Amino acid sequence: MSIEVKSKYEMGDIIFVKKYSYQNDKNGENHLFVIIDDEDNSVSIEYFGWIVSSHREKANDVSNFKYNEPLDATLKNGLKKDSIVKCDQVYNISKDNVAFKIGSVDVDDFYRFMITFQKYIYENNMVEI
């Protein structure tokens, strides 16, 4: 695994985050995220991302968790084991809490995650069409 500390991360990067908050305001620590967007001002203040979990048994192809996309471990993404990306919740990540980048996802995987996220939004009536 190659650890890379940068001042700016990009969409599709997998990053290690020291602290974050769940929607219920509980705090989480030490987790991987896939960056899906950043507040691209002159200086990036925060990122938005999906959480990465090593619980491959909860992937949508083998469980009832239909918004959990499988992600195979590769040299490019830096994962140690096959994992999932939970595409049903976007986290707001402070730049100050990003420790380092471990890798990045392939464009095809990122596109698949975006489609699943859009499906989640549509199926849960979160936007008007």
Per-residue pLDDT tens digits of the chain, which is 129 residues long: 566 666 688 999 999 999 998 888 899 999 999 999 765 544 455 789 999 999 999 999 999 999 999 999 999 999 999 999 999 999 989 889 999 999 999 999 999 999 999 999 999 987 654
- At residue 5, the pLDDT reads 60
What's the pTM?
0.85
Report the pLDDT value the prediction gives residue 23, as an integer from 0 to 100: 80
Residue 59 contacts residue 8 (beta carbons within 8 Å): no
- Which pLDDT does position 1 carry in this prediction? 54
Secondary structure element (H or E) that encloses residue 91, with its range:
strand 83-94
Whether 32 is covered by a domain: the verdict is yes
We report the CATH number of the domain holding residue 112 as: 2.30.30.110
Domain extent, residue 53, equals 13-123
State residue 37's pLDDT score: 79
| Separation of alpha carbons 31 and 60, rounded Å | 21
The pLDDT score that the predictor gives to residue 43 is 44
Q: Is the dihedral of CA 28, 32, 36, 40 positive or negative?
A: positive
Q: How many structural domains is the chain composed of? A: 1
> Which DSSP letter does residue 95 get?
G
56 is a domain residue: yes
